[in-house]
Amino acid sequence: MLLLTALGTLQQIRDAADELDRHDPSPADAVSWFEESPGKFRLEVYAPTKQDAASVEAIVGAAAPELHLKQKKVKAADWVAMSLEGLPAVRAGRFVVAGAHALARAHGGRTRVWIEASEAFGTGHHGTTWGCLQALEGELRRRRVRRVLDVGAGSGVLAIAAAKTGAQALAVEIDRRAAAIAAINARQNKVEPRVRVIAGDGARYIAHKSFDLVFANILMRPLIRLAPKLVRATAPNGTLILSGLLRSQAPLVREAYANRGMVLERQIPKEAWMTLVWRKPPRTLRFSA
């Protein structure tokens, strides 16, 4: 495993991160950026091989030639260990998400979600997961959520958070290893009876069902491709929360869902990312003459 880092302006770092995120498949296992000091930002990219690292350098060089990438080897096991030790608790509305090390130190009357850093995406630290949790908080302030669908569930953090507020959640994850981790997380959070984890595309479990709230924290292309199914799965007057999007990608997704009659109620930006909150209008009543 190789770690590539660079320091630069906000615009340089965002340009590089955005370009890396546009590549599908990406040569990077993980891309993150943050403000290291006032006006100075840091890009961190993990690449599994030297060839992938060379591809990362080429992509970053084309997007932000001013950036100078430094490279060093890190052990995969050390990377996970650093994540476990270094990740602080994440707070989003009533929710606090953390591994056991940070959750034990968290105080206050919040809903606690125990998620350890692992191979499955979703510790709450990424801007997309945080945005989804904030959107869930907004929904819970407005109404009680009873039936939840989480597409691309990863660690199961969103389904588990919803279940902790009393909802029944169906978590669908195409990656079988991640689905197994989500099931373990549901059990550790003592919500296993209210969270059903499906490994695979979950199509037959979703067909002919509707949900009060649907999460899809995936990527732009699958969000657009799945628009008909996700809209159909959202109950009338229900909420659809979409994330996994760069801010620059949001307009294309907005167009895809607005064209299907969905009403955009809220946009939640976080760093380079955007979460979109949609409402499905009630059914139109038809009167016969």
Q: State CA 106 to chain mean position distance.
A: 22
**Residue 63 has what pLDDT?**
93
CATH code: domain of residue 163 = 3.40.50.150
CATH code: domain of residue 55 = 3.30.70.100
Query: Are 156 and 265 in the same domain?
Result: yes
Domain's final residue, options 31, 55, 74? 74
* Domain count across the chain: 2
Query: Are 261 and 137 in the same domain?
Result: yes
Query: Are 132 and 240 in the same domain?
Result: yes
Cα separation, 284 vs 282, in Å, equals: 6
Instruction: Indicate whether 93 belongs to any domain.
Output: no
Instruction: Indicate whether 102 belongs to any domain.
Output: no
In this prediction the pTM is 0.69
Query: Are 234 and 161 in the same domain?
Result: yes
Query: Are 46 and 187 in the same domain?
Result: no
Q: pLDDT tens-digit profile of 91-137?
A: 788 888 877 666 666 666 578 888 876 544 555 567 788 999 999 99
Cα separation, 284 vs 80, in Å, equals: 51
Q: pLDDT tens-digit profile of 140-196?
A: 999 999 999 999 998 899 999 999 999 999 999 988 888 998 999 999 999 999 999
Q: How is residue 216 written in tokens? A: 């899809």
Q: Judge if the upstream peptide bond of residue 88 is cis by omega within 30 degrees of 0.
A: no
Contact partners, residue 78, CB within 8 Å, separation at least 6: none
Query: Are 170 and 252 in the same domain?
Result: yes
* Model confidence at 244: pLDDT above 80: yes
Query: Are 135 and 275 in the same domain?
Result: yes
Instruction: Indicate whether 238 belongs to any domain.
Output: yes
46, 79 Cβ separation under 8 angstroms: yes
**Residue 145 has what pLDDT?**
95
State which amino acid sits at residue 238: G
Cα separation, 122 vs 268, in Å, equals: 17
Cα separation, 236 vs 222, in Å, equals: 23
The per-type count for the chain, helices as H runs and strands as E runs, is 11, 14
Instruction: Indicate whether 96 belongs to any domain.
Output: no
Domain's final residue, options 58, 74, 90? 74
Structural domain including 39 reads 2-74
More confident residue, 46 or 285: 46
HSE at residue 145, side-chain half, CA atoms within 13 A, is 31
Query: Are 142 and 57 in the same domain?
Result: no
**Residue 168 has what pLDDT?**
97
Confidence category of residue 287, pLDDT binned at 50, 70, 90: very low
**Residue 284 has what pLDDT?**
45
Confidence category of residue 286, pLDDT binned at 50, 70, 90: very low
Query: Are 131 and 62 in the same domain?
Result: no
Instruction: Indicate whether 259 belongs to any domain.
Output: yes
Query: What average pLDDT does range 41-53 have in this prediction?
Result: 89
Q: pLDDT tens-digit profile of 252-265?
A: 999 999 999 999 99
Q: pLDDT tens-digit profile of 25-40?
A: 778 877 878 777 778 8
